[in-house]
Structures are given as structure tokens and as C-alpha cells.
Amino acid sequence: MKVTEQDIKTVASLSRLKIRPEESARVIEQLDEILTYVDILKSIDTEKISPTTYALPMQNVFREDVVKPSLDRDLALSNAPLKEDGYFKVPRVLEE
């Protein structure tokens, strides 16, 4: 097994996902299966190869720094699960 219980906890926390204790073994198994499969990449020498993030050669795309009309505030808030006075409303972030 490549993946440990601790790995799963860390990754689940990074992912903001809850893994129930009874699911843990299955998740480890699934992740392990993928990681074992992708190990075939290790057999390739990529020492001198540069990574490709985008398939087409792209340079920085610049535009003039001017203000343009953007989404109306009410419209931007129209899908908010909870809102108040023109703001998104979320549960408490800091302790009292």
C-alpha cells in the first residue's frame, strides 16, 4: 500500500471532504490502484524534458487596464445560498 490512513486524512482535509471511517479502506484502495497504475510513468527518463501545461504555445495575453461594465451586483448575488445587505453570508469564521 502506497497510501496511508494519514495521507487520506490530509488529502480529504485539503479537499474539504469528509471520509467516514468505514469508507477509509475503500478510498485507500482506489487511490492505491490509480497510483500503482500511473507508476508506469516512472520508467520514462524525463530528466531533460520540460513540462507542458498548455498544448499550444501561448504568451501572456495583455489588455488595456480599463474599467468595463461587469456583472450587476444583484445578478452576481442571485445564486447565493444566503445573502444580506448586498453581501454573501457565511457561518462564523472566527471564534467569539
- Contact residues toward other proteins (CB under 8 A) are 3, 7-8, 10-12, 14-18, 27, 30-31, 34-35, 37-42, 44, 46, 49-56, 58, 61, 63, 71-72, 75-76, 78-82, 88, 90-93
| Residues in Cβ contact with 86 at an 8 Å cutoff, skipping those fewer than 6 apart | 73, 77
Q: C-beta of 75: minimal distance to other proteins in Å?
A: 4
Shortest CB 2 distance to other proteins, Å = 10
What's the start-to-end Cα distance of the chain, in Å? Answer: 43
Cell of 48: 531533460
> Which residue has cell 496511508?
4
- Considering beta carbons, is residue 53 or 84 the nearer one to other proteins? 53
Shortest CB 7 distance to other proteins, Å: 7
List CB contacts of 1: < 8 A, sequence separation 6 or more.
Answer: 28, 32
Q: In whole angstroms, what is the distance from residue 19 CA to residue 22 CA?
A: 8
> To the nearest whole angstrom, how small is the minimum distance from the Cβ of residue 21 to other proteins?
14
